[in-house]
Amino acid sequence: MVKEKKDFGWPAALRDYSWSSIVEDSIIPLIFSIILLVIMLWLKIDLYKALSSIVNLSLQIVPIMLSLLLAGYAILLTLYATNFMKEIKNMGGTYLFTQINASFAIAIFVMVIGVFVNVTSSFIISLNIKSPSYINEDVINGSLFIIIMFLLVFSIRIIKDVTVNIYNLGKALLKM
């Protein structure tokens, strides 16, 4: 039995953006997050305070980036409804539209995950829970710091792909 290829939803977005692109875009944010954690450990910075700071910073930045991205995508979708779309399709530009849609979808997906993780972390931090003695707080705080910093840097970095795709779209417009 042949498995049907889906053209819509997250499986299609992940296929169109490609796992290799996700891995490629993840390397720098992951390395940056780990290096920053190592530096903080070396300087003996309180990981709980650092975690609180990065959660607050992320909650200020990521929702704004997400709203701008959604607004930009809505504007771009209105462009798709014009004759421009037909012209680009006739020029063989379907791949360009696929890449633009995929980069927007992945960027939005990562930012939504980032907002969820940050809101959840902010709530847990506000509870000021004291951990039992057998749990190493620095391991938990450090791990969460890496995850949140990774999501923040990845969200910023993935904007590069969206920008490049919009640039390519602009170049296609100029060629018409």
133: which 2 tokens? 């003695």
31: which 2 tokens? 């390395």
Q: Please compute the mean of the pLDDT values over residues 123-141 and round it to a whole number.
A: 85
pLDDT at 115: 94
User: Distance between CA atoms of 158 and 55, rounded to whole angstroms?
Assistant: 19
Instruction: Read off the pLDDT of residues 73-100 as tens digits, 9 standing for 90 and up.
Output: 887 777 777 777 777 666 666 777 777 7
Task: Give the percent of the chain with pLDDT over 90.
Answer: 38
Instruction: Read off the pLDDT of residues 1-59 as tens digits, 9 standing for 90 and up.
Output: 445 566 677 777 777 777 778 888 899 999 999 999 999 999 999 999 999 999 999 99
The answer to whether residues 66 and 108 touch, using CB atoms and an 8 Å cutoff, is yes
Element (H, E) at 68: helix 47-80
Separation in Å, CA 84 to CA 80, 96, 149, 173: 7, 13, 39, 8
CA dihedral of 45, 33, 61, 64, whole degrees rounded to 10: -160
**Amino acid making up residue 154:** F
pLDDT at 149: 95
Separation in Å, CA 57 to CA 5, 53, 140: 40, 6, 19
pLDDT at 79: 73
